[in-house]
Structure 1
Amino acid sequence: MFRALMIACALSLGALSAAAQDLQSLLQTHADEVAKPSRRSVEVVVQDLAQSGLEAAPEFLLRWQNKDVYQSKTDGLFYYVAGTDPLTLVDIETGQEVGTADKRDLEQLKPNAGVRGVLGSALVQFQLSDPDPSTRTAALDSIARDPSAEQLAPLAASIEGETDTAILARKTRLLDIVTARFGDDTEMRITAIERLSQDVSVDVRAVFNQLLVSTDGVAATAPEGNIAAIRRVSKDMDAETAYAELAAAGLAQPRITPEALKAALVANIVEGQVAGIPVHQLDTEEARIKAYSALAEVGLVPPFVTDEVRDAAIASHVFYTQYAEPDAEVTAAALDALNGIETRVGLMQMADLTLDGLSLASIYFLAAIGLAITFGVMGVINMAHGEFIMMGAYTGYVIQQVIPDYTISILVALPVAFAITFAAGVTMERLVIRHLYHRPLETLLATFGISVALQQLAKNIFGTQARPLTSPSWLDGALVFNDVVSISYIRIAIFVLAVLFLGLILYILKRTRLGLEVRAVTQNPGMAASMGINPDRINMLTFGLGSGIAGIAGVAIGLYAKVTSEMGADYIVQSFMTVVVGGVGNVWGTLAGASLIGFLQKGIEWFNPSNTLAAQTYMILFIIIFIQFRPRGIVALKGRAAGN
């Protein structure tokens, strides 16, 4: 460490020194040290290179470390080479070709591992202090991938002159990581650990886990060193496991398995007997053990270890877990820090799960709100609702083929998708649904047939392959809070869109004449008709509105999901569950239902992340049980509408 500090100090002064001579001349003053270096002699060369301020010095150090430097046997000069025999000589200062030489006239410099380590430390310092920020960042990336004790001093020396705020913060953090692992001062290591204890990043947790690496051992007495725990039989392990550990350590005779005992008896059958006991009498465990013990007494087989012998051997030894890190204060600080981090990580995982649930709830709300309007007002079970979502997604895809700007195309696609699916919904209501009111089974079958027909039509037009609906570049990536909590910008956009739709629908239902008429027809169609409201017209507009909203939802969903002819089928079941669980005919109920189903599904997936199908199955079972106790949903209608 002292040598590394000397090198670091020398290198930090290098930028202030003027180049007094060229690189070749400087190296010639240390020709023997360069040609046949040792760890001690190479430090002098490195120090002079650092103080020279020569721009070619870092390149020379790198090539010297990689054994790419040659010395001429004729004049003793140093060169880089290229090509094959004869080799092209390259000037170490300018990089220009200066001639050729036979391979026999050159000697390749091959520094040993110790020398290469010193050169590596010096090279890191050069890179950490390089004027180019990208070079300094690359050096930090290299250290982060493979930190070592040799990097501690160069890293510390580079901090003082750092002018870039972001790089300075990263250097300081990386210095704490390297200090915590490789520092030679206990107090400095503990201080670094305490500073890192507020960081939940994966690399910081990896540092603490490396400091807490331990191995299990057993001995006659507890060994000296950093003992993590003393393991107890019956509390931490059973007797058989403990004795097997003793045997593996060579501290006890291995126990004989039933199979090995039987094989030993068979191998020692003489004239139908084993140790004087007839074979037909060896039909019990006690008899077999007795015969085996008799064989052991005469040295034919290893001794038989009884339970009493096993227990006595276990009692006479100490089973322990020992840290690889010898400093107990460091491991204690690392353990406290890691426990605190794991607590915060658990809370952050809950926050991340909440964001995932909120995101999924937004998607289900968008998919279901149109169905909630039609189902709640008209009582129509529209199995083709998912296909309106699919139509909206394909509308977005077609518009992107016409308008290549993804931002403009999405802004255009939203109203166009609404218009197309609104018209399709009105057409469907006029041609089919209006003739099937109050006939739920026929309505279900008819809309299911329309669903299949629309899927086939989409296949005929767009094919069976998934089509891309590309999001704008400003929606790429994710909002990352830390290594645990993040959410993609697309999901944030869908959440914002869901909130906007919630506000828009509430405004339409509460503040417009259409909304007043819809609510009137929902609560009492007969009374509404007697007041001059045309229920038939309201049903048509309501169905069109619900279908149009489904089209907009399709554009939003298509930004992150595959756009295929079957995509609507992925959301129809969840949409119906959302409406039924939340409360039929109620916007707030749809929001509550989407939240319950979204959070419930993400919660189940968290317990079983590898099987999303099982998560959906458990969710459906939960909902079936839920509606047994609350059949009208979370937010049930009141008055005459509830009775209907």
Structure 2
Amino acid sequence: MRFILTFLALLALALPITARAQSPDLATDLAGVISANRAQIEKPSRQTIAPVVAAIAATGPQGRALLQAWGDRALGLRKSDRLLVITAPQGDAMKLLDAATGADLGTVPKDEVTLLRPNSGVRGVISAAMAGTALSDPDPKRRAGALDALARKGDAAQLTLLRQALDDPDPVLAGRKARLERLLTIQYDPDPAARVAAIGSFGGDTALDFRASLNPILTTRRVALETVPADANIADELVPGRDISREAAYAMLVDAGLAPARLTPQAERQTLAQHIVDGMVGGVPVAQLGDEAARDRAYTALEQQGLVQPAASEAEVTAALERFHFLDVYAEADSDVTDAARAALRGTETRIAMMQAADLSLDALSLASIYFLAAIGLAITFGVMGVINMAHGEFIMMGAYTGYVVQQFIADRTASLLVALPLAFVVTFAAGVALERLVIRHLYKRPLETLLATFGVSIALQQLAKNIFGTQARPLTAPAWLDRALTFNDVVSISYIRIAIFVLALVFLALYLVIMNRTRLGLEVRAVTQNPAMAASMGISPDRINMLTFGLGSGIAGIAGVAIGLFAKVTSELGSDYIVQSFMTVVVGGVGNIWGTLAGAALIGFLQKGIEWFNPANTLAAQTYMILFIIIFIQFRPRGIIAAKGRAAVGA
């Protein structure tokens, strides 16, 4: 009896100890995780750290505090004993907490702690692990960060946590949560009907995250099966010799261990020659080995005797290819899900193609506005005056350099731009007047001499720019409000600079029409252009009008240079990049007609972008094809798209 009482007393004392051993507190659990994974924590790798992070997160609040510090690069090692600690700066010192228990360890100098600095990949794993609990954090920034982490790396467990935190006081975050929940449903929900419904809920969505969620569903693997399972989700069945080469198909069988390696004729002959015994090989006389079927029989006999490695003859290869089915099988097992994903992706691709066409049209319209802006001045000097000015591109270059110089004195980009535009007009207007007075006025009605003279001026101006500014490209920086893009979706966007150039081109179109049709200068220009002698008899000075007209065209080229310099390289060759297109714009559109210049710019801009779309890797080829097209076009319509009807149509 005493023995029994003693045993029961010992058992009663042992029970609390056993209970404590079976239900250790979280701090002990965390300490154990840290001890078991110390090397991984000190030197983590993105490929292997996820299980460690998950184990730490599962230990409770202190584990999450450790992860938060680790992700914030506030986790370190105390040098004196290599204890893992959470740090917080306090002036020149560092406050320490025990990472496993949260106990206050006081403060130490900063050089007494070695901080752990996980890379961005490891921090991403940590963020994803903590995202589930942070989805309901009172701080909206923490909730937004958790959504970002889940968007980068979510899983089925976090889908459950996300569904529990869909209600959010911030409507923007609530919308993001709802969208992310549908995306994760597509990828991780075990119910196929829920996944199909989630795919259908996106309707015509073309966003990149939706397409990314569909792609894994439609991933396929190529397999060879002798018997196709009834529930196999087949994407395509491949016929050897048509959809897949016979060699590749048989290589699949060999790699999978379903068939022996192929026997080449040369290897077969060499092997048979090594096994000739008494004029026989595998029971087949040597004299008969000239026949392929006899050689196959001999080799098969050697295989059966175990004298050679098994290998497949051509007939055996054919038989194996006929026996097996070669399939592309979806990684997703449910056919309803893949059907929904495939239909959604087809619809998305159609809409993306339409958006790409819209984006290409915007690019073409933008390029057309650039060409039109560069050609307006030439439309005046060449289209109205009939002067072939090969230095027109250098006036564009002078305008761009004027903008650059202004920015060296005015730091504010908006103010510098407001100063640079009129100043570029003044500088290039003066340069144009000087060129007209010194060179052009002596060469009117002599187009060849004018071309050669202005070509020489062009070379001289380029060299002068190199001497002053050097050969390196100079920056002409756009204001911050222009250094962005108008984005409609993931596909369609256009930069504010190009929009500004488009608006500027329309402004100068309107200005040209007003000057030529509503002002005395325009009336005098048209009069001098149509009949200089008659205009002179009416008191109009042809020399003065020619000078002002040439200066006006040059000044507009200078303003175009400032606009073009905001997105192009400002170098001495800037003008030469646009002179050919400017002449083509004026000639193709119709000499002497501003509406023709506009039409020519549109034709060349859309044509060049269209050719580049077919061959995006070679823009030089696109320009070559465009020039060939223009040459052919002029053969059939030498007076341009909108031909001027006589000299009286100058201002039309």
Query: Which TM-score applies when normalising by structure 1?
Result: 0.80
Distance 1:137 1:143 in 2: 10
SS in 1 for 2:472: coil
Stretches of structure 1 lacking an aligned partner (at least 5 in a row): 1-26, 51-55, 70-79, 101-116
Residue matched to 2:105: 97
Per the alignment, do residues 271 and 354 of structure 1 end up closer, same or farther by CA in structure 2, a change over 3 Å counting? farther
Distance 1:336 1:597 in 2: 38
Summarize deviations over 1:226-254 as a string: whole Å, max 9, x none: 22232334553344443443444333444
Per the alignment, do residues 262 and 452 of structure 1 end up closer, same or farther by CA in structure 2, a change over 3 Å counting? farther
- Structure 2 residue identity aligned to 1:210: P
Distance 2:125 2:309 in 1: 58
Per the alignment, do residues 266 and 591 of structure 1 end up closer, same or farther by CA in structure 2, a change over 3 Å counting? farther
Distance 2:471 2:641 in 1: 39
SS in 1 for 2:165: helix
Per the alignment, do residues 373 and 99 of structure 1 end up closer, same or farther by CA in structure 2, a change over 3 Å counting? closer
CA contact (8 A) 1:159 1:171 kept: yes
Per the alignment, do residues 328 and 411 of structure 1 end up closer, same or farther by CA in structure 2, a change over 3 Å counting? same
Distance 2:150 2:286 in 1: 71
Residue matched to 1:215: 221
- Structure 1 residue identity aligned to 2:367: L
Question: Which one of 598, 607, 615 corresponds to residue 608 of structure 1?
Answer: 615
Equivalent pairs, count: 576
Question: Which one of 154, 170, 176 corresponds to residue 164 of structure 1?
Answer: 170
1:353 aligned onto 2:384: no
Residue matched to 1:431: 438
Deviates most, 145-154 or 365-374: 145-154
Q: CA deviation at 1:556?
A: 0.2
| Aligned pairs (5 A) from 1:30-49 | 30=26, 34=30
Summarize deviations over 1:349-368 as a string: whole Å, max 9, x none: 00110111111111111111
CA contact (8 A) 1:580 1:633 kept: yes
- Structure 1 residue identity aligned to 2:105: E
| Aligned pairs (5 A) from 1:103-502 | 123-160=130-167, 162-223=168-229, 224-233=231-240, 235-257=242-264, 289=292, 293=296, 296-299=299-302, 305-306=313-314, 309-502=316-509
Distance 2:520 2:256 in 1: 86
CA contact (8 A) 2:56 2:64 kept: no
- Structure 1 residue identity aligned to 2:187: R
Deviates most, 422-431 or 27-36: 27-36
Residue matched to 1:113: none
1:629 aligned onto 2:636: yes
CA contact (8 A) 1:397 1:469 kept: yes
Q: CA deviation at 1:204?
A: 1.6
Stretches of structure 2 lacking an aligned partner (at least 5 in a row): 1-22, 37-52, 86-95, 109-123, 303-307
Query: Which TM-score applies when normalising by structure 2?
Result: 0.79
Per the alignment, do residues 146 and 416 of structure 1 end up closer, same or farther by CA in structure 2, a change over 3 Å counting? same
CA contact (8 A) 1:374 1:542 kept: yes
- Structure 1 residue identity aligned to 2:175: A
Q: CA deviation at 1:268?
A: 7.8
Summarize deviations over 1:420-455 as a string: whole Å, max 9, x none: 101110110111011112222211111111011111
Distance 1:375 1:65 in 2: 66
Q: CA deviation at 1:166?
A: 2.0
Deviates most, 473-482 or 197-206: 197-206
- Structure 2 residue identity aligned to 1:296: Y
CA contact (8 A) 1:293 1:303 kept: no
Q: CA deviation at 1:640?
A: 4.5
Distance 2:106 2:452 in 1: 87
- Structure 2 residue identity aligned to 1:194: G
CA contact (8 A) 1:295 1:301 kept: no
CA contact (8 A) 1:222 1:320 kept: no
Q: CA deviation at 1:393?
A: 0.5
SS in 1 for 2:215: helix
SS in 1 for 2:644: coil
Deviates most, 193-202 or 308-317: 308-317
CA contact (8 A) 1:124 1:154 kept: no
Deviates most, 312-321 or 485-494: 312-321
- Structure 2 residue identity aligned to 1:175: E
Deviates most, 366-375 or 127-136: 127-136
CA contact (8 A) 1:292 1:304 kept: no
SS in 1 for 2:481: helix
Per the alignment, do residues 31 and 556 of structure 1 end up closer, same or farther by CA in structure 2, a change over 3 Å counting? closer
Residue matched to 1:59: 65
Per the alignment, do residues 367 and 43 of structure 1 end up closer, same or farther by CA in structure 2, a change over 3 Å counting? closer
Q: CA deviation at 1:620?
A: 1.2
SS in 2 for 1:495: helix
- Structure 2 residue identity aligned to 1:211: I
Per the alignment, do residues 85 and 240 of structure 1 end up closer, same or farther by CA in structure 2, a change over 3 Å counting? closer
CA contact (8 A) 2:30 2:63 kept: no
Residue matched to 1:84: 80
Distance 1:554 1:119 in 2: 51
Q: CA deviation at 1:287?
A: 5.1
Distance 1:622 1:262 in 2: 62
SS in 2 for 1:379: coil
Distance 1:262 1:535 in 2: 98
| Aligned pairs (5 A) from 1:521-540 | 521-525=528-532, 528-529=535-536, 531-540=538-547
Q: CA deviation at 1:172?
A: 1.5
Residue matched to 1:561: 568
Q: CA deviation at 1:545?
A: 0.9
Distance 2:266 2:543 in 1: 84
Per the alignment, do residues 539 and 64 of structure 1 end up closer, same or farther by CA in structure 2, a change over 3 Å counting? closer
Distance 2:376 2:464 in 1: 25
SS in 1 for 2:573: coil
Deviates most, 538-547 or 191-200: 191-200
CA contact (8 A) 1:46 1:119 kept: no
Q: CA deviation at 1:528?
A: 4.4
SS in 1 for 2:206: coil
Distance 1:408 1:524 in 2: 44
Distance 2:452 2:248 in 1: 64
The Cα RMSD (Å) is: 3.8
Distance 2:157 2:311 in 1: 53
Summarize deviations over 1:62-104 as a string: whole Å, max 9, x none: 56999x99xxxxxxxxxx963332747625687742499xxxx
CA contact (8 A) 1:524 1:641 kept: no
Per the alignment, do residues 175 and 270 of structure 1 end up closer, same or farther by CA in structure 2, a change over 3 Å counting? same
Residue matched to 2:50: none
Deviates most, 600-609 or 531-540: 531-540
Distance 1:454 1:356 in 2: 31
Distance 1:327 1:130 in 2: 37
Q: CA deviation at 1:189?
A: 1.5
Q: CA deviation at 1:592?
A: 0.9
